[in-house]
Each structure stands twice: as structure tokens, then as C-alpha cells.
Amino acid sequence: MNTNICWMCGYDANSSEHRLKKSDIVRFYGRGPYKGDRAPIHFRGDQRTKIQGTDSRTIKYKKIICQTCNTTTSQPFDLAYEHLISWLCKNETRVLHRRFINFADVFSADFEAEQRNLYKYFAKSFGCRLAEAGQAVPADIVELLNKDQFQTALRITFSVNRRYIEMASLSSQRIYWERWPYCHD
């Protein structure tokens, strides 16, 4: 796959999407810059890299999408994700106890549209990973981003991994795995 072309729209790929949501990094580590022993460490495969700031190249994809798709087109998707994470941080104990999320609780009256936008956020994230790996993004993923109703083979499942929660509480280092960050305000 040609990584000079935006996988979402086919125009010039001139923008670098964050692998890890910038708002998550700020929520977890503050605005930065991050220096010395307090700098977060990003693990990707066998590679360990200290992150010095929220715009570090380490936590961004190559230029695989265009500026319009990265900002205007996908902004509702990003906002739905940020809303979910904010809600999860406020309701962490409840979610861990109940072991499920009712999206009507998260998004209130507009939950159908916002739940679709959240799905599109994860589809965009998946598409970016595929594109950077040089793999074609399936047509059903690309097409659903501009639709209000869609069918796709992509399935998204949420789960609680207690190992990460226990490791985060025991860790004295500020470590970030490519996962949803443990909430701390």
C-alpha cells in the first residue's frame, strides 16, 4: 500500500495521526515536556523509547492520512472516544464492578449517533495501523466512515485486564503500553 496516499479519502497523506491519543497522554502524564526519570517509556515490540512530549514521533504514525481526514472528518469520532474515556475515568469503580458499559449511560439521549462515532474512532485507529504496516485497509472499513448506517466484518470487544491495573498500581515508573491508560487526574 502506498503510504503517501490518505487511506481514508485517497488524497495526499500530509498528516500524522497519534498512535496514542494526545488527550490520554495529557490525562495520564500532564502536558509535558517529560524529562529524565519521570519521562514515560513507550514499549512497542522489543523497542523501549522515552517520550519527551505529546507530539513525539514515537507515538505518531507516519503520514498516512490527510489533514482534512485527521481533523474535520474524524473529529466527531475523536470526541466520542474522549467522551467515553472521560466517563470511564469518572465511573471506573462502577465499570470494574459491573463488568459492562451501557452506552446510553455514557452518551445519554444521543447515544446511537455517538456510539456510531465511537465505533468509527476504533475503525480509524485500526485502519491507521493497517496502513502504516503497508496493508490495505478493507473497503468496508473505509466506506463506513462516511455512513450513518453500515455493516462491516470488524468486531470490537472491550475487556478488563486486571494485570494492567495491578501493574499500574505497583509500578514506580511511568510506563505506557499501547492500551487505554489507567485513569489518574
Tell me what the mean pLDDT of segment 127-142 comes to. 94
- Output the pLDDT for position 109: 87
pTM above 0.85, yes or no: no
Give yes or no for a contact between 24 and 85, defined as CB atoms under 8 angstroms apart. Answer: yes
Q: Where would I find the beta strands (DSSP E) of the chain? A: 15-18, 41-44, 47-50, 60-65, 175-176
Query: What would the pLDDT profile of 35-54 be if each residue is shown by its tens digit?
Result: 877 778 888 778 888 888 88
Amino acid making up residue 151: Q
Residue type, 88: L
Q: How confident is the model at residue 175 (pLDDT cuts 50, 70, 90)?
A: very low
